[in-house]
Structure 1
Amino acid sequence: MAKLEKPIRTCVVCRNKLTKENLIRLQCKDYKLISFDGIGRSFYICNECQEKALTDMETKKIEKALFRQCKKKDEYLVQLKEIITHVR
């Protein structure tokens, strides 16, 4: 039987390619940042970028990536921090 490799996904902030275990899956719905609910387009953010968001490091880069995904400027960084603390 063939050996299957784990799926690789890309973090929208740092563009690193990682396995799904090292990422959180999010989506924008009605211009709100939420955890992926199984319907629609989604994107991934790695654990390292999540830590940077919580410690307020490189927030411009994170905000820019979120603006790019959600197509509108809003308080996505605050919403991201709420999601990260809720998931952990």
Structure 2
Amino acid sequence: MANLKKCLRTCIVCRTKLEKVDLLRLRCENKKLVPYNNYGRSFYICNQCLDVCFDVTDETKNLKSIKKLEKSLFRECKNKDEYLVQLKEILTHVRKSKSL
């Protein structure tokens, strides 16, 4: 029996290597952040980074994490836009579709 290894991917924010299941896959298209649709270059953000960034209980840690997330998105998408707003929209859409 073959010993299959699981594919690990790297979160662009915290640089930890995780399985695909624990990551959200996104890409930049025409200066907009969109969910990955099997075409073009993509990047991953782990669920922990997303939870920390959009958690409202710890504001000091939240600000630092948001800046780190913004910087990572700027680096991946090569321009400065309102990526956090777009990311929040994607997350609410993804979470709604998972609950259905």
Taking structure 2 as the reference length, the TM-score comes to 0.84
User: Which of the two has higher C-alpha Rg?
Assistant: 2
Give the Cα separation in 2 of the matches to 1:59 and 1:14: 12
List gaps (5 residues or longer) in structure 1: none
Runs of 4 or more above 4 Å deviation: none
- Per the alignment, do residues 53 and 81 of structure 1 end up closer, same or farther by CA in structure 2, a change over 3 Å counting? farther
Count, aligned residues: 88
Give the Cα separation in 1 of the matches to 2:17 and 2:40: 22
CA RMSD of aligned residues (A): 1.0
Taking structure 1 as the reference length, the TM-score comes to 0.95
List gaps (5 residues or longer) in structure 2: 57-61, 96-100
**What is the Cα deviation at residue 52 of structure 1?**
2.0
Higher percent of residues as helix: 2
**What is the Cα deviation at residue 3 of structure 1?**
1.2
Q: Percent identity?
A: 59
